[in-house]
Amino acid sequence: MSLAPFDAATLYGLLGAVLVGIGLYGIVLHESFMRRLLAFNLLGGGVFILFGVVARRGAGAGFPGDPVPQALVITGVVVAFCATALAITLIERLAAKDEASDGDHKS
Amino acid sequence: MLGLALDLLIAALVIGVALWTVRTRDDFAAIVGFVAYGLLLTLAWARLAAYDVALTEAAIGGGVTGVILLRASIRLKPVVTVRKPISARILVGLLCAAISAGLSAVVLLPMTPAPSLATEVRAHLAGTGLGNPIAGVLMAYRALDTFLETVVVLLALFGVWSLTPDAAWGGRPVMAGPTAAFGPLPLFGRVLIPVGIVIGIYIVWVGADAPGGKFQGATILAAMWILAMMAGLTKAPPIGRWRLRLLLAAGPIVFVAVGLAGIPLAGAFLAYPEALAKPLILLIEVALTLSIAATLGLLVAGPPETASGAEP
């Protein structure tokens, strides 16, 4: 093992590491579900970037990056969107339910 | 040198908007920050020479995710963010920084030689009839992942629809506001949608040999449909209609049918006979494009809220 040269891949790797930390901070400290979901997506973006750095360092055979992790990140981005869409709908439904039960208490 | 300066600028901007998204007290500002984050990450992906991922991130991470977040911001009441006590913030901050430091160590002390499957992908790419290695991985080497992904997209829509209030079951999701027909949106839609459809189909088609592909193209097509629904140019279909459900399931059905046909013809599930690889991949991609575009559009539209729009 030796220290990586300070190139673009290393820089973006450090960016990914920082984004994971920022996202985690938001998930732990926010009480609102919506804000936690945003923070979770920030974290996810950081993980994807880390994976992209692995791909970039695996460049070879005439490709600028290893296509296998790149393809898996594309799959990951789509799945993350689906999970986000489902989570948002759950949050909206929960809020509607809370509103309805608040109304019951008042009447 | 100039390249590194650009990379530093992009990284600083991404961290800036990420901090903004987490720190701001205003939910709407956080959403705007997140959309900016998605678009800036696109630049990072382009700088990592992952153009296919950059397209996906632009279309999905910055694009449709932004639309769905804005939908939520309209439907949800703003919540006042209460800051936790400073001691909790410092403790959590330190622990999160420790995790970032650990990941940074992994980045700074990489394995040598770097693990890579690039050589194997190059060696077998000709057999798939595709020129874009990413498409080769998605449609051939890791076709099982891609198949399961299309099922996940569909399952997410099942989840969203299952949150429909009982009274609204079978109705139409409503995207357009009451004043949509009088604003600039219908004109914008009429100008942009024809162009967007052509670009979407082009991105799907060119994905065989160049950056692009069905997920990116389908997302653009979905965005055009969403725009048409938001502008009131078309209505979302009632979710009970069986033709709609067939369209949503067509992609995974074609994919699994071709996959099963691979067992007698090529010796394995999801294997293609070499002579037919390209036409079969194209068949799957066309079916998947239509299904994914429809599914993404309906995911953004959300569940129907009232049965009033059930039938015209």
- One-letter amino acid identity for B53? V
Residue B85 is given by DSSP the state P
Contacts of A21 in chain B (CB under 8 A): 96-97, 99-100, 103
Whether the Cβ atoms of residue B308 and residue B157 lie closer than 8 Å to each other = no
Q: What is the DSSP letter of A63?
A: B
Mutate to test the interface with B, among A20, A92, A97 (most CBs of B within 10 A): A92
Among positive and negative, which fits the CA dihedral B288, B154, B255, B238?
negative
- According to DSSP, the residues that pair with A60 across neighbouring strands are A63
Cβ of A18 within 8 Å of Cβ of B15? The answer is yes
DSSP category for residue B76: S
Residue numbers in B near A26 (CB within 8 A): 21-22
Residue A57 CA, chain-centre distance (Å), reads 21
User: A–B: how many Cβ contacts below 8 A?
Assistant: 281
Chain B partners of A14 at a C-beta cutoff of 8 Å?
A: 11, 104, 107-108
Please check whether residue B56 touches A, CB under 8 A: yes
Q: Which residue of B has its CA nearest to A28?
A: B92
- Domain containing B128 equals 124-312
Residue B14 forms part of a structural domain: no
Residue B310, domain member (yes or no): yes
B285 to chain A, any CB pair closer than 8 A? The answer is no
Residue of A83, A39, A91, A89 lying closest to B79 (CA atoms): A91
Instruction: Report yes or no: A47 at the B interface, CB cutoff 8 Å.
Output: no
Q: How confident is the model at residue B312 (pLDDT cuts 50, 70, 90)?
A: very low
Instruction: Give contacts of B 58-117 with A, CB under 8 A.
Output: 60-61, 64-65, 68-69, 71-73, 75-77, 79, 81-82, 84, 88-89, 92-93, 96-97, 99-104, 106-112, 114-117
What band does A107 get if pLDDT is binned at 50, 70 and 90?
very low
Q: What is the mean pLDDT of residues B60-78?
A: 86
Bond into B113 cis (ω within 30): yes
Distance from CA of A15 to the nearest CA of B (A): 6
Arithmetic mean of pLDDT, B200-222: 89
pLDDT at residue B26 greater than cutoff 90 = no
Tell whether B13 is within 8 A of chain A (Cβ): no
Interchain CB contact of A62 with B (< 8 Å): yes
- Max intra-chain CA distance, chain A: 71
Helix axes B2-23, A8-29, angle to 10 degrees: 0
- Band (A36; pLDDT cuts 50, 70, 90): very high
**Residue B202 CB contacts under 8 Å (≥ 6 apart), including other chains:** B212, B217
Alpha helices in chain B (DSSP H): 2-23, 27-47, 51-56, 65-75, 86-108, 118-125, 133-136, 143-161, 185-206, 214-230, 242-266, 277-301
Q: Is residue B57 part of a domain?
A: no
pLDDT band, very low/low/confident/very high, at B209 (cuts 50, 70, 90): confident
Q: How far apart are CA B180 and CA B193, in angstroms?
A: 16
Q: In degrees rounded to 5, what are phi and psi of residue B90?
A: -65, -45
Residue B284: CA count within 13 A, CB half-sphere = 29
pLDDT band at A1 (very low <50, low <70, confident <90, very high): low
Domain boundaries, chain A: 8-106
A 12-41 residues inside an 8 A Cβ radius of B: 12-26, 28-32, 34-35, 38-39, 41
> Using a CB-CB distance cutoff of 8 angstroms, which residues of chain A are in contact with residue B160?
85-86, 89
pLDDT at position B307 is 64
**Structural domain contains residue B90:** no
Distance from CA of B172 to the nearest CA of A (A): 16
Question: If pLDDT is split at 50, 70 and 90, which confidence band does A95 have?
Answer: confident
Which span out of A89-98, B123-132, B152-161 was modeled with the highest average pLDDT? B152-161
CB distance B224 to B296 below 8 Å = no
Residues in chain A: 107
B306 close to A (CB below 8 A): no
In a domain, B13, yes or no: no
Contact status of A94 with chain B (Cβ, < 8 Å): no
**Region A8-106: CATH code:** 1.10.287.3510
Distance CA B46, CA B291 (A): 28
pTM of the model: 0.90
Q: Tell me if chain B has a CB within 8 Å of the CB of A100.
A: no
Burial of A66 (0-12, 13-18, 19+ CB in 10 A): buried
- B112 within a domain of the structure (yes/no): no
Confidence of residue B170 (pLDDT cuts 50, 70, 90): confident
> Considering the domain boundaries, does residue B223 fall inside one?
yes
Distances (CA, A) of B220 to B28, B56, B197, B198, B248: 24, 10, 7, 10, 17
**Banded pLDDT at B178 (limits 50, 70, 90):** low
Structure tokens that stand for A71 in this block: 């393809």
B256 in Cβ contact with B147 (< 8 Å) = yes
Q: Do the domain assignments include residue B295?
A: yes
Question: Over pLDDT 70: what percentage of chain B?
Answer: 96
pLDDT single digits (tens) B102-124 = 999 999 988 777 888 888 888 88
Number of domains in chain B: 1
Mean pLDDT, rounded, for B178-198: 84
Q: How confident is the prediction for chain B on average, in pLDDT?
A: 87
Task: For residue A55, give both structure tokens.
Answer: 């791909």
Q: Do B60 and A68 touch (CB under 8 A)?
A: no
* Residue whose pair of structure tokens reads 């010796």 in the numeric block: B267
Position B98: which residue type?
A
User: Are the Cβ atoms of B34 and A41 closer than 8 angstroms?
Assistant: yes
Q: What is the pLDDT of residue B93?
A: 93
Q: How many residues does chain B have?
A: 312
